[in-house]
């Protein structure tokens, strides 16, 4: 039954940052991107997760794994870096499903799994916290919405983990959504960094925001 009283349920949420892809369309590892001279996006997203009410944070690596680990290790204070669990996805060339399977395996007996991609610059700690708080109240799927899309970041209940763990191929979990899930709007969430044009747009927006 859905949880209706947040005070009677303190769910244990495992968080996973998916950072294993080969960035074929981009032509350079998106895991290492930074807007200009600012903090690398992957580091910002890791910090956002570490600031949330989650029981564990793992980063799923694949392509450029050593560079990704070095980037985070050098950017984060040791006390924060030591809270990150690293999971290497040896099957990363298969696509996103393999990273989701790795995230499910790392979640153990958690009550829910927060999934986040490494190329979503609009994501903030307050947005993630809203997803988590709504999951704590309902115990059901909570997704992000942007434009006509519903997807990650999203919190999946334990009842979904077996299905997530059976995904195959170069696809994520969007195909499992019914369309009636509780959704939290994510402004500018439609921008992900798949192409050089996406990165240029993100960097222009970052400069404009910094100079505002």
What are the structural domain ranges in the chain? 6-211
User: Under 8 Å CB-to-CB from 91, ≥6 apart: which residues?
Assistant: 98
**pLDDT above 90 for 94:** yes
pLDDT classification of 205: cutoffs 50, 70, 90: confident
Collect all residues with Cβ–Cβ distance below 8 Å to 72 and sequence separation of at least 6. Answer: 42, 43, 46, 59, 81, 84
Two tokens, residue 12: 């244990």
Asked whether 135 and 142 are in contact (CB, 8 A), the reply is yes
Residue 150 is predicted with a pLDDT of 94
| 8 A C-beta contact, residue 154 and residue 195 | no
Residues 169-204 have pLDDT tens digits of: 987 888 899 889 999 999 999 998 999 999 999 888
Q: Does domain 6-211 have CATH number 3.40.50.12780?
A: no
123 burial level (CB within 10 Å; 0-12, 13-18, 19+): buried
Q: Would the pLDDT of 36 be above 80?
A: no
pLDDT in tens, 98-139: 999 999 999 999 999 999 999 999 999 999 999 999 999 999
pLDDT given at position 85:
97
pTM, two decimals, is 0.92
């Amino acid at each position: 039954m859905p949880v209706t009283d947040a005070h009677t349920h303190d769910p244990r949420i495992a968080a996973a940052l998916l950072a294993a892809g080969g960035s074929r369309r981009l032509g350079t590892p998106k895991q290492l991107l930074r807007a200009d001279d600012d903090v690398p996006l992957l580091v910002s997203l890791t910090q956002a997760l570490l600031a949330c009410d989650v029981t564990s944070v793992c980063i799923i690596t694949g392509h450029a794994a050593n560079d990704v680990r070095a980037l985070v290790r050098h950017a984060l204070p040791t006390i924060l870096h030591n809270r990150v669990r690293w999971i290497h996805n040896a099957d990363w060339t298969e696509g996103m499903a393999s990273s989701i399977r790795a995230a499910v395996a790392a979640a153990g007996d958690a009550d829910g799994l927060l999934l986040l991609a490494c190329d979503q610059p609009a994501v903030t700690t307050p947005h993630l916290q809203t997803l988590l708080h709504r999951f704590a109240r309902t115990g059901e799927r909570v997704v992000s919405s942007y434009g006509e899309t519903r997807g990650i970041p999203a919190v999946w209940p334990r009842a979904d983990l077996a299905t997530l763990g059976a995904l195959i191929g170069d696809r994520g979990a969007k195909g499992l959504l019914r369309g009636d899930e509780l959704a939290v709007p994510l402004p500018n969430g439609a921008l992900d960094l798949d192409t050089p044009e996406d990165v240029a747009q993100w960097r222009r927006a970052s400069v404009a925001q910094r100079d505002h």
